[in-house]
Amino acid sequence: MEKVRILIVDDDPFCSSLLLSILGDDYQVTTVNSGLDVIDISTIQKPDCIFLDIMMPGKNGYQVLKDLKDNPLTTTIPVIIVSGLVEESDQNLGLRLGASGYISKPINPAEVFKVLKSCQ
């Protein structure tokens, strides 16, 4: 059976490495450090789920999320926001833009699996 494909988009190498260590044994994980190429990567690799940081240079996570949801080739991919922005307004904006879940940093492995399970 093929592993579920996950794309991690985060400019912080520590957070990407942490998510990779949490998910790497059970999932096929790809990491990128910028939101600029997420649409191209997503249409080629067709991830089953995307973990997306908000605060990134170039294109922030909200812009990436909007792009993903506006593109017919990526609109159905569940996106889980992973962010240090913990205000309810930040979470509400992400969910309004189409995110399937929201995980606050620092990352809790149990929360990662809980939110991921609800997206599958």
- Average of per-residue pLDDT values in the chain: 93
In this prediction, residue 107 has a pLDDT band, given cuts at 50, 70 and 90, of very high
In this prediction, residue 2 has a pLDDT band, given cuts at 50, 70 and 90, of confident
Q: Residue 67: what pLDDT?
A: 96
Q: Could you tell me the residue ranges of all domains in the chain? A: 5-119
Q: Is the omega angle on the peptide bond into residue 106 within 30 degrees of 0, that is, cis?
A: yes
Percent of the chain residues past pLDDT 70, beyond the cut:
98
Spatial distance between the Cα atoms of 24 and 21, rounded to a whole number of angstroms: 5
Report the CATH fold assignment for 5-119.
Rossmann fold (3.40.50)
For residues 78-90, average pLDDT: 93
Q: Residue 3: what pLDDT?
A: 87
Lookup: tokens for 7 = 């794309």
Q: Tens digits of per-residue pLDDT, 14-66? A: 999 999 999 988 999 999 999 998 999 999 999 999 999 999 988 999 999 99
CB 62 within 8 A of CB 93: yes
For residues 88-106, average pLDDT: 94
